[in-house]
A = this chain, B = another copy of it.
Amino acid sequence: MKNALNLEQLQHRIDVSPFNLWFGLRAVEINDEGVVLTLMRRKELIGNPKTGVIHGGLMGCLVDGVCAFSVIARTGQSAATVDFRVDFHRATVAPQLWARGRFLKTGRTLATVEGLVYEEDGTLVASGRAVLLHTKLQTEG
């Protein structure tokens, strides 16, 4: 499948969002399956100061983000999340996380995308799915 955006354009789309800019997502790959983003662990992202792990809700932001940006990279347009779900597999204090999006379905109006979060060595730490409404139906409400 052809993607509408290149890596630089995708990074621009990430950075126009005040939250994503603060969050620190980096676009590192756009491929046929979806996009790959990275996130550096830093103090502000920590949920539990005793364990030093990134806040679980932010792991959700990472899963949701990699799903949404997979759709955005492909269509070049915006996308609205209908729902997302996250499963937590392992606590991690890795300095950097990789999030990989993978299309499960691309319909005319809806896309279902899987988001997988790994440590550098490939250990899966969290994963989930999002259903997104793309382009034409964004005014749904």
Residues in chain A within 8 A of chain B (CB atoms) = 16-20, 22, 43-49, 54-58, 60-62, 64-65, 68, 78, 80-91, 104-105, 107-110, 112, 124, 127-129, 131, 133, 137, 139-141
Contacts of A56 in B (CB 8 A): 64, 68, 81, 84
Complex contacts, A129 vs chain B, CB 8 Å: 85, 87, 129
Closest to A81 in B: B56
CB pair B140–A107 under 8 Å, yes or no, is yes
Return A66 CB to nearest CB of chain B, in Å: 10
**How far, in angstroms, from A138 to B43 measured CA to CA in the complex?**
22
Q: Nearest B residue to A90 by beta-carbon distance?
A: B141
Which residue on chain B has the smallest CB distance to residue A55?
A: B19
Interface centre among A16, A89, A108, A124 (most CB of B within 10 A): A89
B88 touches A85 (CB 8 A): no
Query: Complex: how many Å from CA A49 to CA B86?
Result: 26
A20: which B residues are within 8 A, CB to CB? 47, 55
Q: Are A83 and B87 in contact (CB under 8 A)?
A: yes
Given contacts A55-B17, A60-B61, A84-B85, contact A127 B104 (CB under 8 A): yes
